[in-house]
Amino acid sequence: MVKKEEENKKEVWSMDDLISLTNELQTADIKFRGKTLTVQYCELTEKEEPVLDMKQNFPSDTERNAYYMEIGTTRVKAMLTKANKMNPEGATVTGENWSELPSTLRFQVANEIMGVESDVSENFITG
């Protein structure tokens, strides 16, 4: 009986709501060293997804991981760029300044945009 009540309470996405996300500006507040950075981003359609050569053979796990990291970074930058075109006044992180940011901050921004739950302190020393 409880399971049935829980099913009745769960929220379900409509196709219109999901599709509208690709035209909706989203923001996230990133906490970094005691201050907040607000970033804006927008979901991509398949047409807007960066196209990278999907290599099949990598000489090492390190090279494969580096390649997939590059794919993720390219995707995050595309999501930031799309939002920044929609709202130039709200642009904070851009494709131009991305590589100049502290790597721990870039990691946090990417995780937030990609919906990854993680604590930077688990992966980096931030002190």
The structural domains of the chain, with segments of one domain joined by +, span: 10-123
Using CA atoms, how far residue 74 sits from 7, 52, 97, 107, in Å, is: 38, 9, 14, 13
Beta strands at 35-41 and 26-32: parallel, antiparallel or unpaired: antiparallel
pLDDT: is 52 or 44 the higher one? Answer: 44
- How confident is the model over 87-108, as a mean pLDDT? 94
Q: Which residue has the higher pLDDT, 51 or 56?
A: 51
pLDDT, residue 120, reads 46
Inter-CA distances, 60 with 57, 63, 67, 96, 108, Å: 9, 5, 11, 30, 26
Please give the C-alpha separations between residue 71 and each of 19, 67, 77, 127, in angstroms, as whole numbers. Answer: 23, 6, 10, 28
Residue 126: per-residue pLDDT: 43
- Dihedral through CA 99, CA 104, CA 109, CA 112, nearest 10? 150
Confidence of residue 2 (pLDDT cuts 50, 70, 90): low
pLDDT at residue 54 greater than cutoff 80:
no
Inform me whether the pLDDT recorded for 125 exceeds 50.
no
What letter does residue 125 receive in the DSSP assignment?
A: -
